[in-house]
């Protein structure tokens, strides 16, 4: 069993533990939610109304199963359930089981003598439909979804060899529109993981795209060699100069001139002079030993000695 199917089956098993409620109980919960006198009681009523209708989201999902099998759709069944649950939560907060004819607010969703599911289904399906549209990198008109469903029904009735003439007549569209419908139904999205999966020994997409923040192995090797070269050349400097330069440039915790001067019992200015003279001498040594040396390294040494 695949991981996605296993997650779906486990989710169904979990939500079946929540019992359904009667229409009378829905009206009671709606009254508590609309009154909103006690925030704690309101949230408790909303939670009960939501948990009692979690299976409603799974029921609405059946209308979108045919779209999930399309190569143009990159969204899973559990993703749609999550979107549907968001729509269910919004419906629970807005549902009013009573009806008031003198209410001029046309945006209010108020019903009389209907179940909560009647209103919630519209919110759930709207949220799922929106998720399917946003799952695409290229926008496809929403009415294409209904045409895809009708085309699939006609193919099942007439077989895969159904002619374009029959499709045009049954769908009441022109040949040009039919071509667009076929193209949109077969359109896919090229994902990075799909490109990686085409290679035999490939891993993920991160194996193909360089990480610009990651240090280059050649640069790291070059720095390591230069560090070793500098340490070797510093052996020709006076011991105190070696220690000062090592503390300042080769220590994880780079001390200040003040801290170094206190260690050696000299002034900060004298400490700076010793380090500057040591860097100048080190540069002359390296220039005399190497015919070609990294220009940036010499520039850094000059800047430190300044």
Tell me, yes or no, whether 119 and 15 share the same domain.
yes
- Whether residue 188 lies inside any domain: the answer is no
Residue 130 lies in domain: 3-137
pLDDT greater than 80 at residue 202: no
C-alpha 283/C-alpha 233 separation (Å) is 10
Query: 277 or 301: whose pLDDT is higher?
Result: 277
Q: Among the listed ranges 73-82, 132-141, 224-233, 250-259, which one has the minimum average pLDDT value?
A: 132-141
Query: 150 or 122: whose pLDDT is higher?
Result: 122
Location of structure tokens 């430190």: 304
- Whether residue 183 lies inside any domain: the answer is no
Beta-carbon contacts of residue 137 (< 8 Å; ≥ 6 apart): 189
- Whether residue 126 lies inside any domain: the answer is yes
- Whether residue 65 lies inside any domain: the answer is yes
Task: Extract the tokens encoding 214.
Answer: 């990651």
State pTM to two decimals.
Answer: 0.45
- Whether residue 75 lies inside any domain: the answer is yes
CATH number at residue 54: 1.20.120.1810
CATH number at residue 234: 1.10.10.10
Confidence of residue 142 (pLDDT cuts 50, 70, 90): low
Q: Among the listed ranges 57-61, 141-145, 146-150, 188-192, which one has the minimum average pLDDT value?
A: 188-192
Sign of the alpha-carbon dihedral angle for 108, 84, 136, 68 = negative
Beta-carbon contacts of residue 98 (< 8 Å; ≥ 6 apart): 27, 30, 31, 34, 110, 112
Average pLDDT for residues 226-231, to the nearest whole number? 76
Q: Which of 115, 137, 159 is the last residue of a domain?
A: 137
Tell me, yes or no, whether 130 and 225 share the same domain.
no
Query: 249 or 173: whose pLDDT is higher?
Result: 173
- Whether residue 88 lies inside any domain: the answer is yes
Percent of the chain clearing pLDDT 90 (strictly above): 12
Average pLDDT for residues 123-130, to the nearest whole number? 88
Tell me, yes or no, whether 24 and 131 share the same domain.
yes
Of residues 110, 112, 126, 116, the one with CA closest to residue 50: 116
pLDDT at 71: 59
Top-ranked range on mean pLDDT: pick from 106-115, 197-206, 248-257:
248-257
- Whether residue 278 lies inside any domain: the answer is yes
- Whether residue 250 lies inside any domain: the answer is yes
* Counted domains in the chain: 2
Average pLDDT for residues 277-295, to the nearest whole number? 71
Confidence of residue 193 (pLDDT cuts 50, 70, 90): very low
Tell me, yes or no, whether 12 and 132 share the same domain.
yes
Tell me, yes or no, whether 8 and 112 share the same domain.
yes
DSSP string for residues in 288-305: HH-SS--HHHHHHHHHHH
pLDDT digits (tens, 9 = 90+) for 159-170: 777 888 888 888
Average pLDDT for residues 14-32, to the nearest whole number? 89
Q: Among the listed ranges 202-216, 224-238, 269-283, 291-305, which one has the minimum average pLDDT value?
A: 291-305
Q: Which of 114, 137, 160 is the last residue of a domain?
A: 137
pLDDT greater than 60 at residue 205: no
Q: Which of 98, 119, 137 is the last residue of a domain?
A: 137
DSSP 187: -
Query: 222 or 117: whose pLDDT is higher?
Result: 117
pLDDT greater than 80 at residue 123: yes
pLDDT greater than 70 at residue 194: no
Write down the mean pLDDT value for the chain: 76
Q: Which residue pairs, CB below 8 angstroms and at least 24 apart, start in 93-98?
A: 93/33, 93/46, 95/30, 95/33, 95/49, 95/119, 95/120, 96/30, 96/34, 97/26, 97/27, 97/30, 97/31, 98/27, 98/30, 98/31, 98/34
Q: What is the dihedral of CA 201, 204, 208, 214, to 10 degrees?
A: -120
Average pLDDT for residues 144-166, to the nearest whole number? 79
Confidence of residue 103 (pLDDT cuts 50, 70, 90): very low
Task: Extract the tokens encoding 94.
Answer: 């807005």
DSSP 20: P
Tell me, yes or no, whether 13 and 113 share the same domain.
yes
């Amino acid at each position: 069993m695949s991981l996605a199917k296993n997650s779906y089956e486990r989710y169904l098993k979990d939500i079946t533990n929540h019992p359904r409620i009667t229409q009378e109980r829905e009206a009671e919960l709606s009254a508590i939610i609309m009154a909103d006198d006690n925030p704690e009681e309101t949230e408790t009523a909303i939670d009960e109304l939501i948990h009692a209708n979690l299976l409603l989201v799974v029921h609405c999902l059946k209308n979108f199963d045919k779209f999930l099998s399309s190569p143009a759709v990159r969204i899973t069944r559990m993703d749609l359930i999550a979107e549907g649950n968001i729509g269910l939560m919004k419906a629970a907060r807005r549902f009013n089981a009573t009806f008031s004819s003198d209410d001029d607010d046309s945006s209010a969703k108020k019903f009389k003598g209907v179940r909560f599911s009647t209103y919630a289904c519209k919110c759930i399906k709207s949220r799922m439909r929106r998720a399917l549209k946003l799952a695409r990198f290229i926008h496809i008109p929403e009415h294409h979804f209904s045409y895809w469903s009708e085309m699939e029904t006609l193919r099942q009735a007439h077989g895969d060899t159904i002619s374009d003439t029959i499709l045009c007549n049954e769908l009441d569209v022109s040949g040009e529109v039919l071509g667009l419908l076929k193209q949109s139904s077969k359109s896919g999205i090229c994902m990075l993981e799909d490109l990686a999966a085409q290679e035999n020994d490939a891993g993920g997409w991160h194996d193909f795209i360089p990480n610009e923040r990651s240090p280059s192995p050649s640069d790291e090797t070059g720095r390591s060699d230069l560090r070793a070269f500098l340490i070797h050349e510093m052996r020709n400097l006076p011991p105190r100069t070696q220690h000062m330069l090592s503390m300042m440039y080769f220590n994880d915790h780079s001390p200040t001139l003040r801290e170094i001067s206190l260690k050696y019992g000299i002034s900060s200015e004298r400490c700076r002079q010793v380090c500057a003279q040591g860097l100048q001498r080190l540069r002359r040594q390296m220039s005399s030993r190497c015919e070609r040396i990294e220009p940036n390294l010499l520039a850094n040494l000059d800047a430190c000695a300044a």
